[in-house]
């Protein structure tokens, strides 16, 4: 059962969840979270434990030519996924979520994949040459943009569809005073990550402004508007799941088993980037079509028309 709009669930939003998370990763995470809470562990501690599993995965993937090592790398990455799901659930359970924790969660994700990429790259470069690291670096950059866009779309769904304020778009606040060096470094990293997400947001900033205007113009219909939003956008957000870390983990494992990990990096550069472009185009089309169905394109409502009275057309793909 979903919580009321505005409430913060312990589990992630089920109607947009990828099947691998819904039926495997997050059920395991959910069993661990009460144990972690009783132990007094913080979400950041769980994040670091997951990152430790990811670093070990990089070590084993360095020896990917041995099937047993490739399998061990895959299992350790699954352990990281479980911890990655548990830290967020623990933060929501204990109400200790923060922007710093959100940033740390992202950093741990990137550290895990960096370790795996370097482990694979060291072995590949021994046979193919140092140019492999240029390909891997470009692959990692594409990865950062793709996964940032995916996470923002999920986040924005929770903000618009369920009124969860903790899922608002990244806030580019001014940096703290010059004396707070550690805070400035953390804030600077967060701003960099936030700018990258907003750059690949698929028009989310403009859409949110229009949707906020619509909600304020129809205060008695807010529940219906959010319900219409969820019904319309949930299938599309599930499609964004192809850019999630889960499928990258599976792709790395399959490529390692085939002893061809370079194919994975090439697909991340070309294949996943093409998928991102298509998803952004589809997202923008959905944003425009949804505003036509529930209001005018500029965000001003059509008088006397309920969101449930709109035609049931879908946007052109």
Of how many residues is the chain composed?
317
> What is the token pair recorded at 251?
């792709």
Higher pLDDT, 154 or 178: 154
Higher pLDDT, 107 or 208: 208
Distance CA(164)–CA(144), nearest Å, equals 25
Residue 101 is predicted with a pLDDT of 65
Q: What is the dihedral of CA 228, 231, 232, 235, to 10 degrees?
A: 170
pLDDT, tens only, 284-312: 999 999 999 987 544 454 444 444 444 44
> What is the token pair recorded at 314?
């879908």
Residue 188 is predicted with a pLDDT of 64
Quickly tell me which residue has 């990550």 as its tokens: 193
Residue 312 is predicted with a pLDDT of 44
Mean pLDDT of the residues in the chain: 84
Give mean pLDDT, residues 12-35.
90
Residue 228 is predicted with a pLDDT of 95
CA dihedral over 18, 20, 21, 24, signed as positive or negative: positive
Residue 179 is predicted with a pLDDT of 54
pLDDT, tens only, 198-212: 776 778 888 999 999
Residue 310 is predicted with a pLDDT of 46
Residue 114 Cα distances to 136, 151, 196, angstroms: 9, 18, 18
Residue 206 is predicted with a pLDDT of 87
Give mean pLDDT, residues 94-116.
79
Higher pLDDT, 148 or 125: 125
Domain residues of the chain, as ranges? Answer: 14-309
- Residue 75: pLDDT band with limits 50, 70, 90: very high
Count CA atoms closer than 13 A to 262's CA, side-chain side: 14
Higher pLDDT, 305 or 127: 127
Judged by average pLDDT, the poorest of 169-178, 219-228, 242-251 is 169-178
Residue 16 has pLDDT above 60, yes or no: yes
Higher pLDDT, 61 or 312: 61
What are phi and psi for residue 127, nearest 5 degrees? -105, -30
Residue 102 Cα distances to 44, 257, 299, angstroms: 9, 33, 30
Q: Is 78 exposed, middle or buried (0-12, 13-18, 19+ CB in 10 A)?
A: buried
Residue 268 has pLDDT above 70, yes or no: yes
Quickly tell me which residue has 């956008």 as its tokens: 233
Quickly tell me which residue has 């957000």 as its tokens: 237
Quickly tell me which residue has 């425009």 as its tokens: 288
- The DSSP output letter for 39 is H
Homologous superfamily (CATH) of 14-309 is: CDP-alcohol phosphotransferase transmembrane (TM) domain (1.20.120.1760)
Higher pLDDT, 67 or 151: 67
Radius of gyration of the chain (CA): 21
Residue 274 has pLDDT above 70, yes or no: yes
Distance CA(31)–CA(299), nearest Å, equals 43
Residue 201 is predicted with a pLDDT of 73
> What is the token pair recorded at 74?
């895959």
Residue 164 is predicted with a pLDDT of 87
* 8 A C-beta contact, residue 64 and residue 10: no
Residue 192 is predicted with a pLDDT of 67
Give mean pLDDT, residues 125-144.
95
Judged by average pLDDT, the poorest of 88-92, 118-122, 293-297 is 293-297
Give mean pLDDT, residues 213-220.
93
């Amino acid at each position: 059962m979903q919580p009321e709009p505005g409430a913060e669930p312990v589990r992630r939003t089920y109607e947009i969840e990828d099947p691998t998370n819904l039926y495997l990763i997050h059920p395991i995470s959910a069993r661990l979270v009460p144990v972690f809470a009783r132990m007094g562990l913080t979400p950041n501690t769980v994040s670091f434990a997951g990152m430790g599993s990811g670093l070990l995965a990089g070590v084993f993937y360095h020896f990917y030519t041995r099937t047993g090592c490739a399998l061990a790398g895959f299992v350790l990455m699954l352990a990281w996924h479980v911890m990655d799901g548990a830290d967020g659930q623990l933060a929501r359970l204990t109400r200790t979520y923060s922007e710093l924790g959100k940033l740390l969660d992202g950093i741990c994700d990137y550290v895990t994949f960096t370790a795996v990429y370097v482990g694979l790259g060291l072995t590949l470069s021994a046979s193919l040459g140092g140019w492999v690291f240029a390909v891997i670096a470009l692959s990692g950059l594409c990865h950062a943009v793709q996964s940032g866009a995916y996470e923002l779309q999920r986040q924005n769904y929770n903000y618009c569809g369920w009124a969860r304020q903790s899922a608002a778009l990244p806030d580019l606040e001014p940096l703290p005073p010059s004396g707070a060096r550690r805070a400035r470094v953390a804030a600077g990293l967060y701003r960099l990550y936030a700018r990258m997400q907003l750059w690949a947001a698929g028009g989310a900033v403009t859409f949110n402004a229009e949707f906020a205007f619509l909600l304020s113009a129809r205060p008695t219909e807010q529940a219906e508007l959010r319900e219409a939003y969820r019904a319309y956008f949930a299938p599309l957000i599930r499609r964004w799941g192809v850019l999630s870390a889960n499928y990258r983990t599976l792709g790395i494992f399959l490529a390692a088993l085939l002893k061809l990990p370079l194919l994975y990096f090439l697909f991340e550069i070309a294949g996943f980037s093409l998928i991102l472009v298509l998803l952004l185009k589809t997202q923008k089309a959905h944003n425009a079509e949804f505003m036509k169905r529930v209001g005018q394109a500029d965000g001003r409502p059509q008088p006397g028309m309920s969101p449930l009275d709109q035609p049931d057309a879908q946007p052109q793909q």
